[in-house]
Amino acid sequence: MSLGKLIRITLRKEKAAISLYLCSCISVMLFYFFLYEGQFMLYPFLICLFCLVVYLIYKFLSYRTFYRNVKEIKTSPAYSKGDDSVFEEVFDEIRDIHNEYISKIYSLESKNEEKDKLLTEWIHNMKTSVAVIDLAVEKLPNSEVVKDIRDENSLLQKNLEEVLNIFRLGEFSKDYVPEEINLKALVKECINSQKRNFIYAKVFPEVDIPENYFILSDKKWSKYVIGQIISNAIKYSIAESKVRFYVEESDGNITLHIQDFGIGIRKEELSRVFEAFFTGSNGRKEEKSSGIGLYMCKCICDNLNEKIQIDSEVSRGTTVSISYLNKS
């Protein structure tokens, strides 16, 4: 804390004492004035001023010591100045409050960890059931009902994976493996994983990425982010349109642009697209939108130290840009 700020704090906190002291000093000086008919006024004035200055210096040093100790306690709650410290009782209360809150936080974290374990186990059990349903459907003759079952089962599997990824984000450092990745190969892999969606929507990918572009990132998480953006691009594209993939290189970074020519996003909604559970006007029309996908993309990119942004115009399409560290 600066010297000037500490002086202002001392004067502000001691203004009542200073006012009372000044009143006493005026009374003493009036006494001298009437007793000695205006003579010897300098002597009581200097005495009173000296006592006031000594008192303020003492309070200033006390407050300085107090705030220094508070700063130390913020860093290390077990810090102790000693039993002779003027404010030791205050620090004892601070330590008790701190320990109480630490105990409550630990208890809450333990309960949350237990809940997370139970939910994770439940999700894995659900994934097993989804896999069994998928195998059973493959043995059934093709029909409209079987197609609906297969689509709903795929959607259920995707949603379960999203929930698992949300849990994994909480311990991102344990599930993060940086490596050198060929960007074009990564994009093609993501496109191939959604080949069926491209065909059903009658949307066509166009990849314009050189072969020699390599990025430093985590492949699994990067695939998730690109896959989520491709899924959105397909969902909100117009039939017979395309999704374009191209890159730009600058300042040691490679920026991947994923551009669709679909319905676009309203200008007033662009600032909220990365918020959890925000679906926007387009999402409300699309009943299967959860508002989680772009939120997850933003969280993952932040953890990977990558930048993601969206530019869009209604009826003209959307461009999502992701900046990676260049390893070419």
The parent domain of residue 155 ranges over 119-170
Of 289, 296, 315, whose CA–CA distance to 225 is shortest?
296
Query: What pLDDT score does 170 carry?
Result: 75
In a domain, 231, yes or no: yes
pLDDT tens for each residue of 259-287: 999 999 999 989 999 998 888 887 777 66
Query: What pLDDT score does 22 carry?
Result: 83
pLDDT tens for each residue of 2-27: 778 878 888 888 888 888 888 888 88
Per DSSP bridges, beta strands 214-218 and 253-260 are unpaired
In a domain, 91, yes or no: no
Residue 278 and residue 194: Cα distance in Å, rounded?
Answer: 24
What's the whole-model pTM score? 0.65
Same domain, 198 and 163: no
Contact 226, 187 (CB under 8 A): yes
Same domain, 304 and 208: yes
When the pLDDT of each residue in the chain is averaged and rounded to a whole number, the result is: 85
- The enclosing H or E element of 205 equals strand 204-208
Grade residue 288 by pLDDT with cuts at 50, 70 and 90: low
Residue 309 clears pLDDT 90, i.e. is over it? yes
Query: What pLDDT score does 86 carry?
Result: 62
Query: What pLDDT score does 328 carry?
Result: 62
Helix, strand counts (H, E) of the chain? 10, 7
**Residue 316 is which amino acid?**
R
Residues 6+ apart with CB under 8 A from 88: 80, 81, 82
Same domain, 257 and 302: yes
Residue 82 clears pLDDT 60, i.e. is over it? no
Q: How many domains does the chain have?
A: 3
Same domain, 143 and 288: no
Burial class of residue 127 (count of CB atoms within 10 Å of its CB; 0-12, 13-18, 19+): middle
Same domain, 136 and 270: no
pLDDT tens for each residue of 111-160: 888 888 888 888 888 888 888 888 888 888 888 888 888 888 888 888 88
In a domain, 99, yes or no: no
In a domain, 190, yes or no: yes
In a domain, 110, yes or no: no
Burial class of residue 94 (count of CB atoms within 10 Å of its CB; 0-12, 13-18, 19+): middle
In a domain, 205, yes or no: yes
Contact 48, 25 (CB under 8 A): yes
Residue 100 clears pLDDT 80, i.e. is over it? yes
Tokens, residue 203:
């949307």
Residue 254 clears pLDDT 90, i.e. is over it? yes
Same domain, 67 and 209: no
